[in-house]
Amino acid sequence: MDRFTDQAPFFTDDHRRLAASAASFVWREIEPHAARAEEATDEDFRSLVALLAEADLLRFCVRRDAPLDVRSLCIVREELAYSSALADAAFVMQGLGTYAVSLAAPAHVREFWIERAAAGRAVAAFALTEADAGSDVSAVSTTARLEGDAYVLDGRKRLISNAGVADFYTVFARTGTRADGRAELSAFVVSARMPGFSVRERTQLIGAHPIGEIEFNNLRVPAEDRVGDEGDGHPLAMRTMYVFRPSVGAAACGMARRALDEAIAHAKRRRQFGAPISSFQLVQAKLAEMATELDAARLLVYRAAYARDAAERGEATADSSALTRAASEAKLYATEAAQRIIDEAVQIHGGAGLVRGAVVERLYRDIRALRIYEGTSEIQKLIIARELLKE
């Protein structure tokens, strides 16, 4: 049993009940299928989204009439990632793909897509990255030009989660160039059924994750369906990242916690030189360091989530610089620590940890992406330093 929510000061009774119910759901509904994630079809993925909706978990990532509770978002991601990176992706993409829509889309667009996403009837996606525009958002080359009562989109997006599975995409495209030479970005909701939309490629990653490249060819989006005003795309994308960034750390903590549990269990079972390897001091030192790093990571993650929630509720001064720094520290440390923890878990397992399909082998592949997406570790360091130098 995990006691972190009972011991840490960041949680209410509702959070503790959520942690318990989410863990029960995961062990009952997700864990039996987790090992077969790489065999999952698009229909399996859609069924997974529907299952999350049926369990009433999507309300913790799809924003509707009130701000998201980031601690709840993190709790659910941690529990899902403990068992299945695919289930975690299915959950969080419903939030990432709808957040900007919930903030700034016209009422008719918001009501149509948000309701379907929250009910698990529509799969969402967030389309920002391009071949030459990852960390450098100003390099976005997909264009949206206004022609009459519609915007015409042309361009490609790369490494888009849920590409080919999603029913709609929140797309960020260049509508002009600012005085400083950087791209003026605007946001649009694009249905996968619109003429001019196509999936160019389904990309295979080292872990199970639906992802690929999409293209817009003379695709017309009604001007009344634009998300926010022209030029609001960049701030909307950043607001999305700032809310969801601590939850990437939470997913990393879920994976690291599973690796630690697997390592402890294996160390107690595995016997060498006539004794369980858990009796060897070098193995004990590894376990001690893994547990300490995990605790530190979780504290950073839930500190950032608590601070965001307190600011939203008006219980604390909304210091945007401090919130940004806390989110980046959480994402940076938790993902890097989780990589180290999982690597040590594989080492403790020895050759058994390298066998395809072993839990720690799967974790070793799944954790790697978290140090890259939603801002690389290097970008997080730059953000942290920038906010420090403002003080």
* Residue ranges of domains in the chain: 4-105+112-118, 124-230, 234-390
Yes or no: say if 37 and 45 are a contact pair by the CB < 8 Å rule: no
Query: For 213, phi and psi rounded to 5 degrees?
Result: -115, 135
Task: Tell me 283's DSSP state.
Answer: H
- How deeply is 93 buried, as exposed, middle or buried, from its count of CB atoms within 10 A (0-12, 13-18, 19+)? buried
147 is catalytic: no
Q: The domain 124-230: what is its CATH number?
A: 2.40.110.10
CA distance linking residue 292 with residue 190, whole number of Å? 45
Query: What pLDDT shows up at residue 1?
Result: 63
Query: What pLDDT shows up at residue 245?
Result: 96
Instruction: Tell me what the mean pLDDT of segment 206-235 comes to.
Output: 95
Is 1.10.760.10 the CATH classification of the domain at 234-390?
no
What is this structure's pTM?
Answer: 0.96
Angle value at C-alpha 365, between 3 and 374, nearest 5 degrees: 75
Instruction: Tell me what the mean pLDDT of segment 357-374 comes to.
Output: 96
Please check the confidence at residue 180 and state whether its pLDDT lies above 90: no
Query: What pLDDT shows up at residue 167?
Result: 98
Q: Do domains 124-230 and 234-390 have the same CATH topology?
A: no
The catalytic position among 289, 374, 387, 391 is 374
Reported as a single tens digit per residue, the pLDDT across 111-159 is 999 999 999 999 999 999 999 998 898 899 999 999 999 999 999 999 9
Query: What pLDDT shows up at residue 364?
Result: 98
Which of 165, 187, 161, 192 lies closest to 239, judged by CA? 187
Residue 313 banded pLDDT, cuts 50, 70, 90: confident
**Mean per-residue pLDDT over the chain, rounded:** 96
Q: Which CATH number does the domain 4-105+112-118 belong to among 1.10.260.40, 3.50.50.60, 1.10.540.10, 3.40.190.10? A: 1.10.540.10
Instruction: Tell me what the mean pLDDT of segment 47-60 comes to.
Output: 98
Please check the confidence at residue 298 and state whether its pLDDT lies above 90: yes
Instruction: Tell me what the mean pLDDT of segment 93-98 comes to.
Output: 98
